[in-house]
Structure 1
């Protein structure tokens, strides 16, 4: 089942009624008229918006010198070839890319939700007493790790509030500091030789 957030529906509706999209629709409507003139009331009804939104578009186009007042409720295109101002194929490609971006964003949100759910489940597993009883490695587990062969190996059993510090020293010299406030820290020498 797909969950649709209210904000997703609102943003979709907003983008359809954005000033840019309404202006493109307005210009197409204007282009389809015989004398490139348009009645404001008819445009508002056709675009299914309030008249003030049409006035916003008209005011911008008049300010750019592309539209002129023809009468009280009528405006006429005076900006040359109207097709130069209507969405071209590159604009359509941008819209397609925008759709791809929306799909990618949706997938990212889905993945984020899945990661969050996995992290919650890992926390539940790691806090279970039954799982903690079995949270250990054996000597043979350590010996089976190729990168640990012929290395000096120590095992540490410590409380969860343990702080581990490894200060930098000259090459070949190492020091490890462990501190905890809630219990004892146990350090075991495992081996630096392979099992035969």
Structure 2
């Protein structure tokens, strides 16, 4: 059976592009890391287990390393850094602190905007007074 409902090339019914997507592969890769011995994963083994080319593994590791979720330990070995659940309380405190800081800064910005508006009015009034005196 073939899917003929779209103008795209014919694809077998039941095959799904998502099954080979980088997103799904990333989920499987992260699952491998989390279950790896000592939390260190060999990239060659990961490529074999996931049955993909190593360049696909590198696509994933480059992004995860770029956002600080993994780090390279040795050649072809990476370790999960991720977010530690024990630090979630600290994160909540940090978020609350940053929200309070944003509110304080917003109030300060409002006061400064008001001062600027008042000064602009004074300058306009002074300019008009000088024009009227000439």
TM-score scaled to structure 2, two decimals? 0.53
CA RMSD of aligned residues (A): 2.3
The aligned counterpart of 2:42 is 39
Question: Quick check: which has more Rg, 1 or 2?
Answer: 1
For residues 125-169 of structure 1, the C-alpha deviation after alignment (integer angstroms, 9 at most, x for no partner) is xxxxxxxxxxxxxxxxxxxxxxxxxxxxxxxxxxxxxxxxxxxxx
The 1:73/1:8 distance shift into structure 2, 3 A limit, reads: same
Hey, which of these two has a bigger chunk of helix by percent? 2
Pairing 1:38-117 to 2, within 5 Å after superposition? 38-81=41-84
The aligned counterpart of 1:4 is 2
The 1:72/1:10 distance shift into structure 2, 3 A limit, reads: farther
Long gaps (5+) in structure 1: 83-196
What count of residue pairs does the alignment treat as equivalent?
A: 80
How far residue 52 of structure 1 moved from its aligned partner, in angstroms, is 0.2
Contact 2:44 / 2:54 at 8 angstroms: preserved in 1? yes
How far residue 13 of structure 1 moved from its aligned partner, in angstroms, is 4.7
TM-score scaled to structure 1, two decimals? 0.37
Long gaps (5+) in structure 2: 4-8, 86-134
Q: Determine the C-alpha separation between the residues in 2 that align with 1:7 and 1:81.
A: 45
The aligned counterpart of 2:32 is 29
The 1:38/1:10 distance shift into structure 2, 3 A limit, reads: farther
The 1:21/1:70 distance shift into structure 2, 3 A limit, reads: same
